[in-house]
């Protein structure tokens, strides 16, 4: 198995929206990661980055959330760095429905796509899934994708009602948890601070505590939108 890290541009936002009460009004620009895992039984994408429309300067957005990307950052162009085309992807795991994670779904057809059932419980969720011609698999909790323990979906609610993360077991590099937005940055994990934005505080705290325990158990954690930590990784076409 190989784990590839991709970046689909950035989002301009404010520090206090990432980390509660930190740098109020201080602008910051965060990466938009997504991931590919090649497994003998199929190629799995975890999140898909921003929609192609975010590459056009005419995108009117409020000051709290300004997508920044070029067509080269789009999921199709990023996958091409590894020689892959969207039709080579056999499964997609979407951490949650926000546009910087689900936006690239528009590039795929007829692929098995995993989402937690609870992710449909806010902001017109049914309408969301009906707009994509994908083979939706709605989950109630954790799920082992190929039944061999190598790529496991882990339920991590809080940021949204049905947020999920991905646990990948690499032969040489060991276990890696891709948290997506259940943990934005290292500060949240290391300094016990709440994220600046969440759907449910109790679930957010429970999820962060679970991920802290996973780190204590030796699992490597890759957080969702951390400019510092992300900068330390080698992106595709390099892989782990």
Residue 73 or 181 with smaller CB distance to Zn ion: 181
String of contacts with Zn ion for each residue 85-124, x by CB under 5 A: ---------------x------------------------
CB of 76 to Zn ion, least distance (A): 20
CB of 41 to Zn ion, least distance (A): 28
Find the binding residues for Zn ion in span 143-182 (CB under 5 A): 181
Q: Closest Cα partner for 181 from 64, 53, 74, 31?
A: 31
Q: For residues 229 and 117, what is the distance between their CA atoms, to the nearest angstrom?
A: 31
- Spell out the alpha helix ranges (H) of the chain: 15-18, 75-80, 99-102, 125-130, 186-190, 201-216, 227-231
Residue 8 or 111 with smaller CB distance to Zn ion: 8
CB of 38 to Zn ion, least distance (A): 24
Residue 33 or 150 with smaller CB distance to Zn ion: 33
Q: For residues 116 and 18, what is the distance between their CA atoms, to the nearest angstrom?
A: 23
Mapped onto helix, strand or coil, the DSSP state of residue 232 is: coil
* One-character DSSP codes across 12-23: EEEHHHHBTTSS
Residue 74 or 150 with smaller CB distance to Zn ion: 74
CB of 147 to Zn ion, least distance (A): 29
Q: For residues 115 and 129, what is the distance between their CA atoms, to the nearest angstrom?
A: 9
CB of 180 to Zn ion, least distance (A): 7
Q: For residues 124 and 8, what is the distance between their CA atoms, to the nearest angstrom?
A: 25
Binding to Zn ion by residue 47, rule CB under 5 A?
no
The sign of the CA dihedral 137, 131, 180, 40 is positive
Residue 181 or 226 with smaller CB distance to Zn ion: 181
Residues lying near Zn ion in the complex (CB under 5 A) are found at 100, 181
């Amino acid at each position: 198995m190989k784990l590839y890290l991709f970046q689909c541009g950035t989002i301009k936002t404010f520090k206090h929206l990432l980390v509660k009460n930190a740098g109020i009004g201080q602008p910051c620009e965060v990466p938009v990661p997504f991931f590919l895992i090649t497994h003998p039984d199929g190629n799995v994408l975890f999140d898909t980055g921003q929609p192609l429309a975010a590459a056009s300067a005419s995108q009117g957005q409020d000051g709290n959330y300004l997508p920044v990307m070029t067509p080269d950052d789009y999921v199709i162009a990023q996958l091409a760095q590894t020689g892959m085309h969207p039709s080579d992807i056999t499964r997609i795991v979407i951490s949650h429905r926000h546009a910087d994670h689900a936006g690239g779904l528009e590039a795929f057809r007829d692929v098995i796509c995993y989402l937690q059932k609870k992710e449909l419980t806010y902001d017109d969720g049914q309408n969301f899934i009906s707009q994509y011609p994908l083979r939706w698999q709605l989950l109630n909790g954790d799920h082992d994708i190929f039944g061999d323990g190598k790529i496991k979906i882990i339920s991590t609610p809080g940021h949204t009602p049905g947020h999920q993360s991905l646990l990948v077991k690499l032969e040489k590099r060991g276990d890696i948890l891709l948290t997506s937005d259940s943990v934005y940055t290292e500060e949240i994990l290391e300094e016990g601070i709440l994220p600046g934005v969440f759907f449910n505080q109790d679930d957010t705290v429970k999820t962060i505590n679970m991920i802290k325990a996973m780190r204590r158990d030796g699992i490597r954690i890759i957080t969702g939108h951390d400019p510092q930590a992300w900068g330390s990784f080698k992106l595709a076409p390099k892989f782990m």
